[in-house]
Amino acid sequence: MTASATVTRLFHYPVKSLRGIELPAARIEATGIAFDRQWMVVDEAGRFLTQRTHPHMARIVPRIAGGVLTLSLAGLPDLTVRPGEGGEILEVTIWDDFCRAQSQGHSADEWLSHALGEPVRLARVTQDMGRRASYQYAQEVAAPIGFPDGFPLLVCNEASLADLNTRLPQPMPMERFRPNLVIAGLAPWDEDRIERIVCGPLALKLVKPCTRCSIPTFDHLSGEPAFNVLRVLKTFRFDHALHGVTFGENAVIEGGVGTTLAAGTPCEVSFGP
């Protein structure tokens, strides 16, 4: 069974757990959308930090231009991080993965430490980092990743958010779920049954529902506590096998690396049983 849909919005998150950037079009690389989660903030032990424990990371705004990363935060001068700065190899930890990453230099560490109020460092992925999506779900698809939680792409459905918003005291924006691709033209929760999304040469395989942490319970711009949407999701979206509530689907890339995907692109969706 197939259906037609449209990619309506695209996002990337250059620095893991800092604010996202909406894009009119995006280059698709082997690890996902170009520059998505290529940098990560770590503590002095090399352990990754996210909005789960540091919700005000949402206030730091990244920009990418010509491969140069700029970070902005009210009250501080902008930080500019150019390719090749830093160079020291760091041992970093993200969940159960131990990786080698590249330091982005003292200035970046100092700026972020001031912004977050504790000693931290800024790390960037290396070409030989070797991190992959879980074989349990990706299986035969070799899916290299940078610093996302586990998969190259997160796909969300506009109709599912619309349905969820009818159950909330006030609507919440899609940005609080931090998707990479947003699709329209399907029924609510159709994404649960999608096997593949094909947009021209780009082919995505949806492999695992996304279990949600506390991040959607914070405002995506300020990091301040917002309505706890997890309580509502738990009433009808609790996955016993995954031990959590779900919204959105994790995807790996089967084909089309190197192509550019634009908002408004039509796609064909195929469903499983």
> pLDDT per residue over 71-86, tens digit each?
999 999 999 999 877 6
Are residues 17 and 44 both part of a single domain? no
Helices and strands, number each (H, E), in the chain: 4, 19
CA distance 115 to 112: 5
User: Quick check: helix, strand or coil at residue 136?
Assistant: helix
Are residues 211 and 113 both part of a single domain? no
User: Quick check: helix, strand or coil at residue 170?
Assistant: coil
CB 214 within 8 A of CB 230: yes
- What is the pLDDT of the chain when averaged over all its residues? 96
Say what the pLDDT of residue 252 is: 97
Say what the pLDDT of residue 87 is: 80
User: Nearest-CA neighbor of 59 among 98, 116, 3, 107?
Assistant: 116
Alpha helix ranges (H) inside the chain? 106-116, 135-138, 158-165, 229-236
User: Quick check: helix, strand or coil at residue 114?
Assistant: helix
Say what the pLDDT of residue 157 is: 98
CA distance 133 to 197: 18
What spatial distance separates the first Cα and last Cα of the chain, rounded to whole Å?
Answer: 9
Are residues 166 and 207 both part of a single domain? yes
User: Nearest-CA neighbor of 151 among 129, 108, 180?
Assistant: 180
Say what the pLDDT of residue 8 is: 98
Say what the pLDDT of residue 137 is: 83
Count other C-beta atoms under 10 Å from residue 140's C-beta.
8
Q: Can you give the pTM of this predicted structure? A: 0.96
- pLDDT tens, position by position, 168-189: 999 999 999 999 999 999 999 9
Residue after which a domain boundary falls, among 91, 107, 125? 125
Are residues 219 and 177 both part of a single domain? yes
- The residue assigned the tokens 């949402």 is 58
Residue after which a domain boundary falls, among 125, 141, 163? 125
The structural domain count of the chain equals 2
- Spans of the chain, pLDDT less than 50: none
User: Quick check: helix, strand or coil at residue 129?
Assistant: coil
Are residues 13 and 60 both part of a single domain? no
CB 82 within 8 A of CB 41: no
Count other C-beta atoms under 10 Å from residue 188's C-beta.
15
Residue after which a domain boundary falls, among 109, 125, 141? 125
Give the chain's radius of gyration (CA, Å). 18
Say what the pLDDT of residue 189 is: 98
